[in-house]
Amino acid sequence: MDLEKFFDRVNHDVLMARVARWVDDRQVLRLIRRNLQAGIMEGGVATARTEGTPQGGPLSPLLSNILLTDLDRELERRGHRFCRYADDCNVYVHSRRAGERVLASMTRFLEQRLRLRVNREKSAVDRPWKRSFLGYTVCNRKRNVRLKVAAKPVKRLKANVKAVFRRGRGCSLRRTIAELAPKLRGWLNYFRHAGVKRVFEELDGWIRRHLRKLLWRQWKRPRRRAVMLMRLGLGEERAWRSATNGRGPWWNAGASHMNQALPKKRFDRLQLVSLMDHHHRLKYLA
């Protein structure tokens, strides 16, 4: 279940009524109300805010949890198992029919009691392994349920990494790897709880192949490619045969001659962050 433009459509009166249950100080309540009604600057013109909470500040997440506590209590009262983070919530039931009934009733509750709007395009009834929550999903196994990274975060990471590769076409490999490091570490730290490791292995191989492709393009001419392959340990005959094969950069980046010349241990010496190795270290420290 997903709420449509939650932080933009919070009703001020409904929210303040919930805050007043926890806060007795009128000056604090007045300060919170002023924060909610602070104007929005658009094109140099200030407009009054009639609904929603200011995004980016530390107060908005706290206020959202106060407002949605009513949703938590309602789900608990009905005996449902659920997990909620901010405006994203998953409710777990035994059948599709029960899920459709719960979705309809909770939609009415949110729209009538809290005056929020449910995003019907993103909200659905389905199996847990066909849905994602906070970037995670689960593998389809009855006795050994494990978390895994959903498809969308992997796609976003690849898009971010590809942007680094485009900028790295005229740069040294070490500089490109240094730019990748914080992105890969941050992404892996978030998904450290994933138990399915295949995605990390596949991403590691995909990243190394792209780096090999960068080098192949930088070497440009067959003679230069043959010389560099020989410097990296290939025999003369094989180096010349590989350099003049007429194939494209992506094919050569995945071919055996580039894998032998630039194995994983060479990238480790260049301090490329291995998602698989970093995941093992995080699990060991945990």
Which residue would you say has higher pLDDT here, 39 or 148?
A: 148
Q: Minimum mean pLDDT among 26-35, 84-93, 277-286: which range?
A: 277-286
Task: Tell me the per-residue pLDDT of 74-103, one tens digit each, with 9 for 90 and over.
Answer: 999 989 999 888 888 888 888 889 989 998
Report the predicted TM-score, pTM, of the whole model to 2 decimal places.
0.79
Give CA angle at 48 (119, 50), nearest 5°: 40
Please report the DSSP string for the chain in residue order: -BBTTHHHH--HHHHHHHHHHH---HHHHHHHHHHHT--EEETTEEE---SS--TTSSHHHHHHHHHHHHHHHHHHHTT-EEEEETTEEEEE-SSHHHHHHHHHHHHHHHHHHS---B-TTT-----GGGS-BTTEEE-S-SSS--EEE-HHHHHHHHHHHHHHHHHGGGS-HHHHHHHHHHHHHHHHHHTTT----HHHHHHHHHHHHHHHHHHHHHH-SHHHHHHHHHHTT--HHHHHHHHTS---HHHHHHSHHHHHHS-HHHHHHTTPPPHHHHHHHHHHH-
Percent of the residues in the chain that have a pLDDT greater than 90, as a whole number: 40
Give 44's pLDDT tier (boundaries 50, 70, 90): low
> Over 90: is that where the pLDDT of 251 sits?
yes
> Over 60: is that where the pLDDT of 286 sits?
no
Tokens of 266: 């060479």
- Model pLDDT, residue 64: 84
